[in-house]
Amino acid sequence: MEVGIDKISFYVPKRYVDMTDLAEARGVDPNKFHIGLGQDQMAVTTADEDIVTLGANAATQILTDEDKATIDLVIVGTESSLDESKATAVVLHDLLEIQPFARAYEIKEACYGATAALMLAKRHVLANPERKALVIASDIARYGLNSAGEPTQGAGAVAILVTANPRILALENDSVPLTQNIYDFWRPTGEEFPRVDGKLSNQTYIDSFAKVWEEYKKRTGLNFDDFTALTFHSPYTKMGKKALLPLSDNAHLLEEFEKAIVYNRRVGNLYTGSLYLSLISLLENSTDLVAGNRLGLFSYGSGTVAEFFSAKLVEGFEKNLQTEYHRHLLDARQRLSISEYEKIFNSKGLGQAGVKFSLREVLDGIPFYNKN
Ligand code: HMG
């Protein structure tokens, strides 16, 4: 039996900053952001958006009443949670009106969280094929105004429905994880911004890809030629290419890589959701994909946990994508001036933790937590 991704969708904040505007305001050559980092726009959350509103919007796009009656596992991968005890998944389970006899919890390991959730969801459905599992990755990446990380900020959520006989991607049983205790990026409890050693984080990402790929090759006997496309965790879009290029200059993989970063270039870092936004970008922008193609996914969370795994496209996958909706979502956003962005960045949220809202109110943008 095959288990994998039956539906997948993303949601991003309603506002963004153009990277040329940011570069000019910071006295930097815009090419450093557009070419050096590979970012054109950066999503910015306002006081009416948080990981609950982002996650609810992403999931609402894909869930039917039948899904809600069948899901019995909801896992949220996030590193932006502001509640040390109660899981965001419990709030989203309620808002999304999923049947009550379900498990709901949150997973944390930096940007790797959603991949841990996906692997657990896969095992759950393998053991209970009549059930469905919902994975939501939702994060807000903030490094601070004028910081080195500022051009790699972003925000957004991805929702993934995991089922038996999936209609988009069947997950293979070949995953290779790697854990290393390295302080490249971390955020001690109570601190607003992460501590980050940018150069070490880049190098650890590159080394992690090389290590998991080497082990993957050894275990499976597969090579880069066996893949139609690779997708990467994308803190900024050049990162995946920096990891791939020392190992392969396969022209087709590099061509498909550009399709896999179309959306990420316009959003920035989603933390846990970044790899899966890149996957959606590939599926919705590549014109070369056909059923049976093998895709490779590289997940990386600072701290660090990395994982490489593969999935195969299933017949009719293109009919189950949300391409029109996603393109409209990105095009309909409002461009902020840098002074508007800075004002929003410094403003405090409303602090409504613990207050119950209706799904309609949340979709319209009432936040659950005080982000600041
Ligand atoms: P920086 O020091 O501002 O940038 O930091 P730089 O000097 O390294 O330049 C960046 C690139 O722009 C370089 O390209 C320059 O050559 C190029 P590279 O040599 O690396 O290929 N450049 C130009 N290109 C064209 N025209 C120009 C020009 N000028 C320069 N005029 C850094 C960059 C990413 C380190 C910083 O933004 C940062 O610290 N970001 C946050 C950390 C991060 O994103 N790390 C990535 C790996 S870790 C990860 O992915 C996990 C994470 O998602 C967190 C989690 O897991 O939760 C972050």
The CATH code of the domain that includes 21 is 3.40.47.10
Ligand 1 close to Cβ of residue 245 (< 6 A): no
User: Are 356 and 283 in a shared domain?
Assistant: no
Ligand 1 close to Cβ of residue 142 (< 6 A): no
Quick check: is 370 in a domain? no
User: Are 107 and 123 in a shared domain?
Assistant: yes
Active site (annotated) includes residue 328: no
Residue among 234, 236, 233, 278 at smallest CA distance from 256: 278
Give the mean pLDDT of 155-174: 98
Quick check: is 372 in a domain? no
CA 220 – ligand 1 centroid, Å: 32
Dihedral over Cα of 203, 209, 212, 213: its sign: negative
Dihedral over Cα of 97, 102, 107, 113: its sign: negative
User: Are 230 and 351 in a shared domain?
Assistant: no
User: Are 83 and 204 in a shared domain?
Assistant: no
Confidence at 349, pLDDT banded by 50, 70, 90:
low
Residue to substitute in 142, 186, 302 for testing ligand 1 pocket (most ligand atoms within 8 angstroms of CB)? 302
Q: Give nearest CA residue, ligand 1 atom 18.
A: 36
User: Are 55 and 156 in a shared domain?
Assistant: yes
Residue recorded with tokens 């506002």: 15
> Are the CB atoms for 92 and 59 separated by under 8 Å?
yes
Q: How many domains does the chain have?
A: 2
Give the mean pLDDT of 158-174: 98
Taking the C-alpha atoms of residue 16 and residue 341, their distance in angstroms, rounded to an integer, is: 8
Q: Give nearest CA residue, ligand 1 atom 16.
A: 36
Residue to substitute in 37, 78, 209 for testing ligand 1 pocket (most ligand atoms within 8 angstroms of CB)? 37
Per the omega criterion (within 30 degrees of 0), is the bond before 64 cis?
no
Q: What is the pTM of this model?
A: 0.96
CA 87 – ligand 1 centroid, Å: 32
User: Are 151 and 254 in a shared domain?
Assistant: no
Give the mean pLDDT of 25-53: 95
User: Are 20 and 142 in a shared domain?
Assistant: yes
Residue among 279, 54, 55, 57 at smallest CA distance from 168: 279
What is the overall mean pLDDT for the chain?
A: 94
Residue to substitute in 26, 34, 202 for testing ligand 1 pocket (most ligand atoms within 8 angstroms of CB)? 202
The number of beta carbons lying within 10 Å of the beta carbon of residue 86 is 12
CA 239 – ligand 1 centroid, Å: 8
User: Are 203 and 274 in a shared domain?
Assistant: yes
Residue among 177, 169, 308, 174 at smallest CA distance from 232: 308
Residue among 212, 230, 244 at smallest CA distance from 295: 230
Confidence at 355, pLDDT banded by 50, 70, 90:
low
Positions of E strands within 1-141: 3-11, 15-18, 41-44, 71-77, 103-107, 132-141
Quick check: is 11 in a domain? yes
Instruction: State yes or no: pLDDT of 9 exceeds 60.
Output: yes
Ligand 1 close to Cβ of residue 196 (< 6 A): yes
Quick check: is 121 in a domain? yes
pLDDT in tens, 263-307: 999 999 999 999 999 999 999 999 999 999 999 999 999 999 999
Taking the C-alpha atoms of residue 296 and residue 300, their distance in angstroms, rounded to an integer, is: 13
Q: Give nearest CA residue, ligand 1 atom 29.
A: 32
First to last CA, the chain: 45
Instruction: State yes or no: pLDDT of 2 exceeds 90.
Output: yes
Cα distances from 292 to residues 17, 173, 252, 312, in angstroms, run 38, 15, 17, 6
pLDDT at position 354 is 47
Concatenated DSSP letters for 172-185? PS--EEEE----SE
Q: Which residues contact residue 148 at a Cβ distance below 8 angstroms, ignoring those fewer than 6 apart?
A: 196, 198
CA 145 to chain centroid: 23
Active site (annotated) includes residue 34: no
Cα distances from 366 to residues 57, 162, 237, 252, in angstroms, run 12, 28, 31, 44
- Is 209 exposed, middle or buried (CB count within 10 Å of its CB: 0-12, 13-18, 19+)? buried
User: Are 202 and 310 in a shared domain?
Assistant: yes
Instruction: State yes or no: pLDDT of 325 exceeds 70.
Output: yes
Taking the C-alpha atoms of residue 193 and residue 349, their distance in angstroms, rounded to an integer, is: 16
Domain region containing 274 = 171-317
Ligand 1 close to Cβ of residue 79 (< 6 A): yes
User: Are 193 and 294 in a shared domain?
Assistant: yes
Quick check: is 371 in a domain? no
User: Are 113 and 247 in a shared domain?
Assistant: no
User: Are 49 and 163 in a shared domain?
Assistant: yes
R_g of the chain computed on alpha carbons: 19
Active site (annotated) includes residue 2: no
Catalytic residue, chosen from 49, 109, 111, 124, is 111
In this structure, what are the phi and psi dihedrals at residue 287, rounded to the nearest 5 degrees?
A: -105, 0
